[in-house]
Amino acid sequence: MAAPKINLYLDVVSPFAYIAYYVTRHSPVFANCEITYTPVFLGGILKACNNTSPLFVKNKSKWTNTERLRWSKFLNVPIYPGIPKGFPILTMNVCQSYYRKLDKSKWTNTERLRWSKFLNVPIYPGIPKGFPILTMNIQRALCAIPAEQLPACLDALYKELWVEGNPLLNDPETFMPILEAAVGKEMAANALEQSNTQPIKDQLIANSDKAVEIGAFGIPWFECTNSSGETECFWGVDRMAQVAAFLGLETTAEQGFRAMM
């Protein structure tokens, strides 16, 4: 029987991608999975998806429908399988002024701290200086790192930004020492050199385009294949229990996964 597989699309700028990465690296739940980490440029994905209202974000409306059906099945909730006639209805106009007043950044910070606690992920309690950062150069360099060495680089970069809360700038002078400590000066220097070439630039674009093609509108994005060869995609840290269930993985001993239920 084939081992379950996960292709996790990530960008170091995202604290939720960090949490997903850390859990897949360290939780015994995923010990028997074949995991691939694919660097993408989150800014490119958001732009490609015109990420504004969820109803008008490319791929997200389809994803929302998939999720409502998936969760209703998961939790034994009766629900209409199709799209109700005339949906979406015009309640948006009533609520529009209210939603404009919402500060999502505060909620996002609350959520990253909450999930890191649930899943036993070490994380910096404050906001790293200079956040959010542009990560295009970093992500290009990661595309030039051999796959077997990529986790060491991600470990180091995520620790610098999301555990210690240090500035992680897009300038090579800032991120190169981190890569050098992770994989050595020679490999890091080669990655930096390659990151300025067209093939590597194209690779990051291709990775991001592939994520969008299979439905991504944000990260962490999981592309999962179970032992029967079936493939499904999942978005977000809060869907990791669904990831585990789809892959047939045991989660009963993990408090964080119980919290997701």
Q: Could you report the per-residue pLDDT of 122-175, keeping only the tens digit for each?
A: 999 998 888 888 899 999 999 999 999 999 999 999 999 999 988 777 789 999
102 or 124, which is more confident?
Answer: 124
Catalogue all structural domains in the chain, each as residue range(s) with its CATH number: 5-259 (3.40.30.10)
Give the pLDDT score at 87.
62
Q: What is residue 168's predicted lDDT score, i.e. its pLDDT? A: 77
Q: Is 214 a residue whose pLDDT tops 90? A: yes
Q: Which of 16, 257, 256 is CA-nearest to residue 117?
A: 256
Residue 30 — pLDDT band, cuts 50, 70, 90?
very high
Q: How far is CA 42 from the centre of its chain?
A: 9
Mean pLDDT for 4-18 is 94
Predicted confidence (pLDDT) at residue 102 exceeds the cutoff of 80 = no
Mean pLDDT value across residues 195-224 = 97
Highest averaged pLDDT of the listed ranges 26-35, 70-79, 106-115:
26-35
Position 251 pLDDT exceeds 90: no
pLDDT, residue 65, reads 79
Record the pTM: 0.85
| 73-82 average pLDDT score | 77
The whole-chain average pLDDT of the chain stands at 87
Give the pLDDT score at 202: 98
pLDDT tens sequence across 179-190: 999 999 999 999
What is the pLDDT at residue 254?
74
